[in-house]
Amino acid sequence: MKKVILITGGTGFIGRNLIPLLEKKYEIKILSREVDGEKIVKGDLVNYDSVKDVTKNVDEVIHLAYSKNYPENILMTENLIKACKEEEVKKIILLSSMSAKRSYPDDYGKNKLEIEKIIKNSGINYTILRPSIVYGKGSKSFDFIIEKIKKLPFIPIIGNGKYAISPVYIDDVICMIDKCVNNKKTDKKEYDLPGGESIWFRDLIKELKKEINTSKKEINIPIGICKIVARISPKVISMENIKNLTEDSKADIEIARKDLGYNPVKFSEGIKNGLI
């Protein structure tokens, strides 16, 4: 009899790519606010009763769901943990973010870190995965940047743009999630999932310009001016964003390599199939 895996947020970018991989081996249930498919169960993580109902007879949960309403994510996680305990679900696999490990996390990073702590302190078995920015065909990871590129008459770049980021290709992320399912070696462990190489932010901008076919000029904005903007309008750019530009990556890829054989593709290879 196949193990039953519940995926929250399964209709999103990562979930859509993950499901075809998992359904070859497991029975899949997807919790979503909108029903569009036979595997999808209509429900809302904010509503405990619907969470409890969907976790019945589930072996493991892959928690991908995330809301732009940060407090809502805490409630969703607490409801999920409570239901998993009552229904004796064996493990929660959480997709977190490398943002949770920054020295100066922004609101998103703080929220992810809080979710991690709630799960780790819950007493339930878990595995935590922290990918960096996930890219691939259909990804919305760079939507904010693309929106600014399209909207503004030029492309503003903080400082000289020579700060490293390590985007991770979607196939590498779903492969690692797959390897954590039904795998006792990953119990109560945390894995960082950076991409196969680091690139300068300014080089990422060049690749995005190719994707959306624009030749808009890039203009470097001095750090001092960016700090003034951050004080006046932190929604445009936060002081945490600026402080993180010079921070070395805290990703520890060796644990994922040892336990899961993690060997992510280089950015130059991953973008051959599309960046967005």
Scanning the structure block, which residue is given the tokens 């932190």?
Answer: 234
Q: How far is Cα 267 from Cα 197, in angstroms, rounded to an integer?
A: 6
**How remote is the C-alpha of 172 from its chain's centroid?**
12
Are 201 and 137 within 8 A, CB to CB?
Answer: no
Q: What is the pLDDT of residue 37?
A: 59
Q: What is the pLDDT of residue 257?
A: 97
Q: What is the pLDDT of residue 38?
A: 60
Q: How far is Cα 255 from Cα 252, in angstroms, rounded to an integer?
A: 7
Q: What is the pLDDT of residue 234?
A: 85
* Helices assigned H by DSSP within the chain: 13-22, 48-54, 70-86, 107-120, 143-151, 170-180, 201-212, 223-232, 239-244, 253-260, 267-270
Q: What is the pLDDT of residue 33?
A: 74
Are 208 and 276 within 8 A, CB to CB?
Answer: yes
Neighbouring CB atoms inside 10 A of 255's CB total 13
Measured in degrees and rounded to the nearest 5, phi and psi for residue 13 equal: -60, -50
Helix, strand, or coil (residue 214):
coil
Measured in degrees and rounded to the nearest 5, phi and psi for residue 268 equal: -60, -25
In the sheet that holds 91-95, the strands lie side by side as: 40-42, 27-32, 4-8, 60-63, 91-95, 126-131, 189-193
Are 166 and 7 within 8 A, CB to CB?
Answer: no
Q: How far is Cα 189 from Cα 126, in angstroms, rounded to an integer?
A: 7
Element (H, E) at 94: strand 91-95
Q: What is the pLDDT of residue 18?
A: 97
Are 121 and 94 within 8 A, CB to CB?
Answer: no
Q: How far is Cα 176 from Cα 149, in angstroms, rounded to an integer?
A: 32
Neighbouring CB atoms inside 10 A of 84's CB total 26
> Which pLDDT tens digits describe the chain residue by residue (276 residues)?
799 999 999 989 999 999 999 999 999 999 987 666 566 777 899 999 989 999 999 999 999 999 999 999 999 999 999 999 999 999 999 999 999 999 889 899 999 999 999 999 999 999 999 999 999 988 988 888 888 889 999 999 999 999 999 999 999 999 999 999 999 999 999 999 999 999 999 999 999 999 899 999 999 999 999 999 889 988 888 888 888 877 777 889 999 999 999 999 999 899 888 777
